[in-house]
A and B are shown apart, each in its own frame.
Chain A
Amino acid sequence: MTLAFYALLFVIVAPVFGGLLAGADRIVTARMQSRVGPPLLQPFYDVGKLFQKQSRLLNPIQEPLLLGHVVMMAATGAMMVSGTDLILVTFVFALASLLLVLAAGSAYSPYSFAGAERELIVLLASEPFFILMMAAICKVTDASTFGAVLASPTWVAFQLPGILIAFLMVATIKLRKSPFDISTSHHAHQELVSGLTSDMSGRLLAYVELAHWYESALLCGFAVLLFNWSIPLGIGAFLVAYAAEVLVDNVTSRAKWQLVLRSTWVATLLFAGGNVLALFVVGR
């Protein structure tokens, strides 16, 4: 009963959290460029407007796929907080991301299609890390669900500092920040128009935004897993990491896909893999 309540709580609170985070992101970005920036609630105004605007459906499957993307993203978080196995959560997370790729790939526009291909590449770059991270968290805490990890006496971040470093890097991909925002971006004047979202208008684009808010909240949940002894500390650490991502977003240009894939895999292998290996050796 309480687990179902947590799931419902995530579905309701996560978009509010994600939307406010996106609004704060835009203000901080503007201040870094010595601008005033939009109001904090701007992302909500944007999504509200997109729902009021005409939606051009290019084919019959685009909308179901994008709806599925939102629902799966919300379900991933709901499953995580309601006590589903964390490895399964990672796989559902990957499936949710994949639905967006399929929706973008179903359009005929070359920009949309190129964006879908690049999104597949960044998924390829980020997925191994998330699986490794979850496996490592489950191993050091000897637990397999969100609640059990939080209840564990082991302090995860002290056991897995390498995972923490790699998480910072891979979160750049998931939060769609430069230099890893190769598949889509909110900014005009780039080589791919809007990449993935080029062919999505009206409420279709609103679904993508909504799913991204859920995704941000989900990543915050992952950060809480790493700081399992204190939930406020986990959320605080995520906000600090997000601020660092905004800074990196502002001072770097986009990388080529080869660099994204190589650097992420090297970070995953070196920091995350090295961390797990070291624990194994020490544990012997």
Chain B
Amino acid sequence: MSFFSKSPWIFHYDASSCNGCDIEVLACLTPFYDLERFGIVNTGNPKHADILLITGSVNERNIEIVQNLYRQMPDPKVVVAVGACACSGGIFARAYNIQGGVDKVVPVDVYVPGCAARPESIIDGVVQGIAALEQKRKKTA
């Protein structure tokens, strides 16, 4: 039996988001949505996390940081890109300092669209991330 679906721990990183998606991510933890009902915890530490939640597009300055956070997470791990900017670069895609979506730097498993992404769709994205996590665990086990 796998415990991953019952206890997915999230690490949230703001790449270069406008903070719109970040507020929606935090809204998921508030009493109205209460992510902890599903055993989901916002850990704040990549070494404890199963799911990397990235908001905002990746810029030249934080490429290494995003890659480093990804490498620090123990396997199995899943990346969820939250919001239009994290998916493709969004309205900042053509800016001189922007690399593009998160998938330019680390492999992304789930894309959550929206500007800003709604809490409901973020929760849906995390749930799909759990399914991806289970698949990865079966491959490594």
Residues from chain B with a CB closer than 8 A to the CB of A34 are 31
A-B contact pairs, 16 of them (CB 8 A): A33-B31, A35-B31, A35-B36, A37-B34, A42-B6, A42-B39, A45-B6, A45-B39, A52-B3, A52-B4, A188-B43, A189-B42, A193-B44, A198-B45, A200-B47, A202-B74
Whether B47 pairs with A56 at a CB distance below 8 angstroms is: yes
The complex places the Cα of A33 from the Cα of B37 at a distance, in Å, of: 13
A42–B6 alpha-carbon span in the complex (Å): 8
Shortest CB-to-CB span from B2 to chain A, Å, is 7
How long is the Cα–Cα vector from A36 to B40 in the complex, in angstroms? Answer: 13
The residues of A that contact B61 with a CB separation of less than 8 Å are none
- Cα of A34 to Cα of B50 in the assembled complex, Å: 27
* A205 CA to B43 CA, complexed, in Å: 13
Q: Given the known inter-chain contacts A188-B44, A205-B48, please indicate yes or no for A49 contacting B74, CB distance below 8 A.
A: no
A51 to chain B: closest residue by CB: B3
Instruction: Please report the C-alpha to C-alpha distance between residue A193 and residue B38 in the assembled complex, in whole angstroms.
Output: 23
Task: Check B48 against A49 for contact (C-beta < 8 Å).
Answer: no
A177 at the interface (CB under 8 A from B): no
- Interface size, chain B (Cβ < 8 Å): 26
Partner of A190, one of B6, B44, B140: B44
Say whether chain A's binding surface is mostly helix, strand, loop, or mixed: loop
Task: Note all chain A residues with C-beta closer than 8 A to B140.
Answer: 54
A55 at the interface (CB under 8 A from B): yes
Judge whether B3 and A49 touch: CB under 8 Å: yes
Evaluate contact between A53 and B50: CB separation under 8 angstroms: yes
Interface residues of chain B: helix, strand, loop or mixed (majority): loop
Partner of A189, one of B6, B9, B44: B44
Q: A38-B36, A53-B74 are in contact. Are A201 and B3 (CB under 8 A)?
A: no
Closest chain B residue, CB of each to CB of A39: B39
Chain A residues with CB under 8 Å of B75's CB are 53-54
Residues of B within 8 A of A (CB): 2-4, 6-7, 9, 12, 31, 34, 36-39, 41-45, 47-48, 50, 74-76, 137, 140
Q: Are B3 and A188 in contact (CB under 8 A)?
A: no
CB distance from A51 to the nearest CB of B (A): 8
Residue B74 contacts which of A54, A189, A197 (CB distance < 8 angstroms)?
A54
20 new A-B pairs (CB below 8 Å) besides A38-B36, A53-B75, A188-B12? A35-B36, A35-B37, A36-B34, A37-B34, A42-B39, A45-B3, A45-B7, A49-B6, A49-B50, A53-B50, A54-B75, A56-B47, A56-B74, A188-B41, A188-B42, A189-B42, A189-B44, A194-B48, A199-B47, A201-B74
What residue of chain B has the Cβ atom nearest to residue A195's Cβ? B45
Known: A186-B41, A201-B48. A26 touches B36 (CB 8 A): yes
Judging by beta carbons under 8 Å apart, are B47 and A198 in contact? yes
Least Cβ distance of B50 to chain A in Å?
7
Contact B39 A46 (CB under 8 A): yes
Minimum distance in angstroms from B126 CB to a CB of chain A: 15
